[in-house]
Amino acid sequence: MKIKMWVLLLLTGTLFAFAEASLQTFEGEKVFRVTPRNEEQVEALTTLASNMQIDFWHPDSVTLVKTGMTVDFRVEADLCSEAEKLLQQNGLNYEVLIDNLQTVLDRQFDSHVRSAGHQYEKYNNWEKIAAWTADIANQNPALVSRSQIGTTFEGRPMYLLKVGKQGANKKAIFMDCGFHAREWISPAFCQWFVRQAVRTYGQETIMTRLLDQLDFYVLPVFNIDGYVYTWTKSRMWRKTRSTNAGSSCIGTDPNRNFNAGWCSIGASRRPCDDTYCGSAPESEKETKALVNFIRNNISTIKAYLTIHSYSQMLLYPYSYTYDVTKNHVELNTLAKAAVKELYTLHGTQYTYGPGATTIYPAAGGSDDWAYDQGIKYSFTFELRDTGRYGFALPESQIKPTCEETLIAIKYIASYVLDHLY
């Protein structure tokens, strides 16, 4: 028995070592923050990006950088000195947000909850999330049901949870998380939302009213293949994992792949770019699955909420044009009120407004597409933080982030319920 146990431990250790070895390291990599003050400095950043491989965290691409914008970007360890030299030569004052990305990534897992299973205050890999979708539905059959709306490029099932008290002719709100693979706080929120729905139903007035009178369609992870890749290969991956004809570069930016001003602004036609819009609108299997589900349920879906990070923003259409929506005043008033409610819990400050002017112009987004389908309450949340950790938000911030976001979501949902159309 001792020999068997020893062999098992050896195998486990070997597998763990292999998994660790295959995971890309970010040792010595830095995240810089600069604010270009004039066109010459914007041009200097463009030159920098063309001379070396740079991962733009905010905005998503160097092409979106403009005068006065806060720009965060990641630089590989062996290029940091050269990058700093170029910034100094061009008079660009910079701040090092993260001095060693690997250290920050290692510290992400700072939750004191000790468990091998699914946990709401820890980041869960896809296997745990997939099992959780079945468990939460089985444990709460009167409130939660699970269906599959499609499969990913790599063949993984896209599970959707329907949350609400069973009833006829109910209107619904659609919410998705995990569009961009490295935004781990996003899927954490979708899981938190479902947990709080089933925990507080019948006890908390607002949630009970919402679930009695509305259904919530919750897609816990949209870009599953990319999310898996961030756990197994490269934590900073953003796109899907589909192959591209005529290119060795992998993936499409799913939030540039919808048929809403597709690829007209703030998106790239180059497959190697992080903002690649795909070969055509809805070229991605994941996009097609979401689009088909919403189209098939368009008469009941009255709001669309998509959860991203980071920036602490609440955005509404449009992002593919600077034109304002027909109900701009209403959306602005609702966003302002939701952000005010969110602030009350932990004092977290959000900005709000139309995507194009508040963050940057970007065509092919799911929120714009949903709005153009007639879903007049369409919002994008950019969760914590504002750059201190960026995509490497520690687990200790999952609970406060989800708590405050839930307040805003409930506020918006209550408004939608009171203004059905």
**Catalytic site residues?**
382
Ramachandran category for residue 245: left, alpha or beta (phi over 0 → left; psi -120 to 50 → alpha): beta
How far apart (Å, rounded) are the C-alpha atoms in residues 378 and 372? 10
Length of the chain: 421
How far apart (Å, rounded) are the C-alpha atoms in residues 127 and 139? 18
How far apart (Å, rounded) are the C-alpha atoms in residues 4 and 157? 36
Backbone angles phi, psi at 304, to 5 degrees: -130, 125
Apex 364 CA angle, 363 and 369, nearest 5? 115
Q: H-helix or E-strand containing 84?
A: helix 80-89
Which value, in Å, is the radius of gyration of the alpha carbons in the chain? 21
How far apart (Å, rounded) are the C-alpha atoms in residues 274 and 252? 7
Residue identified by tokens 């405050």 is 404
Q: How many CB atoms lie within 10 A of CB 206?
A: 14
Structure tokens at 7: 């062999």
